[in-house]
Each structure stands twice: as C-alpha cells, then as structure tokens.
Amino acid sequence: MRLANHGHTSLEIAEMMTLPQGIADEWFNRDYYGTVSHNVKAVYQRYLGWFDANPAHLHELPPVESSSRLVDYMGGADAVLARAHRDFDQGEYRWVAQVVNHVVFADPTNRAARLLQAAALEQLGYQGESGPWRSFYLTGAQELRNGTPSIPGLRAGVSVDVMSAMTCAMVLDNCAVKLHGPRAAEHRLTFAVEFTDRGESHWVEVGNGVMRHRPGVRGATSIVHATVGTFIDLTSEITTIADAQASAALSVTGEVTPFATFVSLLDQFDTFFAIIEP
C-alpha cells in the first residue's frame, strides 16, 4: 500500500516487490504455491479494485476486437510472428506469450501462432517455481495444441458426492447462479420445494431476472416434492420432469408449470472452457 500511495499500479508493484533477504530463501516462503507477484495484485485489488486510475483502461475494447485491431496495427499476423520468433530465440518467453496471444484471439485458427505461444508457455511452465502457475502454463499450451477438452454430458459442479453434501439452501443457491437472468426477467414464478429426505421446505420466487428463496412454503399453490438428489438431477439436466414423475421420484401438488418453467431457465455449465483462446 505504500507503493500504491506513490501511484504505482498493481502490475508495477508486483514487479517491484520482493521478500526481504533474511526470509526470501526460507523454504516455507518460496513461491511453491502462491506467489508474491500474485498476492501483491490481490492485495491491491482488495483495497483499490481492478481499476488502476489510467483512463485508457477504464473502458477498453473486449479481447477479440482489441486483439484484431492490435494485430492489424502491428502489420498483420505474419509480421508479429516473425518478430516473436526472434524474441523467443532470445528467451523472451513472457513477452512472446503475451504478444502472440493477440494473434490467437484475432484468429484462433492460426496454427503457427498457436504453436509458438504454446512453446513459450511451456518454457514458462518449466521455469515456474509455483505449482499452480506451472499448471496454468502447461494447460494453456495443451489447449493451444489440442483444443479445449470436450466431454459431452459432463457438467461442472454436478458431482453427486459434492452436491449431496450441500444444505438445501446451498442447492437452491446453486440454481440462483445458473438462472439465465435476461430470459428469467420475462417471467414471474412462485413455488415451494419440499425436500423429502431432509424434512425441509423452501419457498422460491423468480422475478426481475433473479431468484430468491427462504424456508417455509408461504402459502404456495405449487409444491414440488423430491429428494435433494432428484432435485439436483432435475436442475442439472440429468433427468426430466416427466421421467422423474413416471418413476415416482417427483410429485407435485398443484400446477407443475412454475417449476417446469424454472428448470427451463437454468443454464448448464460445461466442466471445461477455453482459457487461452476466445
């Protein structure tokens, strides 16, 4: 914070900050997991936020559009790669990974750019002392060479062991995260859920694009009766309302429409997503 008060940004402070000589070489202070660089930026963001006060950074273009224009300004992809190869040979791996990423974002099909950035990331990974940094570098290199992994039907956060250990309120909170706000804004829904294996009931309301819930039924005219496991399966597209009703895993008092509409408004998240390309 002393350096921040001198006007230095988080990126600048991360390059300036080192541990004192007396403790820097102690094994328990090495960057094996967290790093001084990473933690400096986190402290800056906690107290001052992401914005570094430079108005040029206040409303930047999004990465794909910005990269396309930058590559054009630099004379095109071939010109960028020619210079980046020379920098790679000089060991400027941080810079190569940074500048070639613009070429990848401008044109993800540029195989030469992908392979060059992958090579730079691998070198950074081999040199990295921090395990997580090394993992990110090498995962990025793998993605550039082989693409983002795709496992159809595998959803993020649907581990039965993890989800079944959640409280009923946490299971509903997970649904609130998955709710597609813009589409949900067109609906106003109320229903209650009785978690039959937990002996708990929760009232659910969707309005103005958000979901709220609280214990109790609050006089709901539509009540969903299901175990926590069945509810998770229904809201994760593992099973359907029709199949759950047919197997008696689900029953509904009153209209099923509010709950069915609610389920249709939930996004599902893939386990893998691109980290080094658009």
Sign of CA dihedral 23, 27, 29, 32: positive
Instruction: Give whole-number Cα distances, 124 to 32, 111, 120, 173, 254, in Å.
Output: 15, 20, 6, 38, 60
Composition of the chain by helix, strand, coil, percent to 5: 55, 10, 35
Q: How far apart are CA 129 and CA 32, in angstroms?
A: 6
pTM: 0.83
How many Cα atoms are found within 13 Å in the side-chain-facing hemisphere of 7? 1
* HEC assignment per residue over 191-209: EEEEECCCCEEEEEEEECC
Compute and round to an integer the Cα radius of gyration of the chain.
25
Tell me the domains of the chain and their CATH numbers.
2-57 (1.25.40.880), 63-146 (1.25.40.880), 160-264 (3.30.1050.10)
- 196, 225 contact by CB (below 8 A): yes
Task: Provide CB contacts within 8 A for 236, sequence distance 6+.
Answer: 155, 158, 268
Cα angle 169-175-180, degrees, rounded to a multiple of 5: 150
The tens-digit pLDDT sequence of the chain (278 residues) is 999 999 999 999 999 999 988 888 888 888 998 899 999 999 999 999 999 999 999 999 999 999 999 999 999 999 999 999 999 999 999 999 999 999 999 999 999 999 999 999 999 999 999 999 999 999 999 999 999 887 665 555 556 678 778 999 999 999 999 999 999 999 999 999 999 999 999 999 999 999 999 999 988 999 999 999 999 999 999 899 999 999 999 999 999 999 999 999 999 888 788 999 99
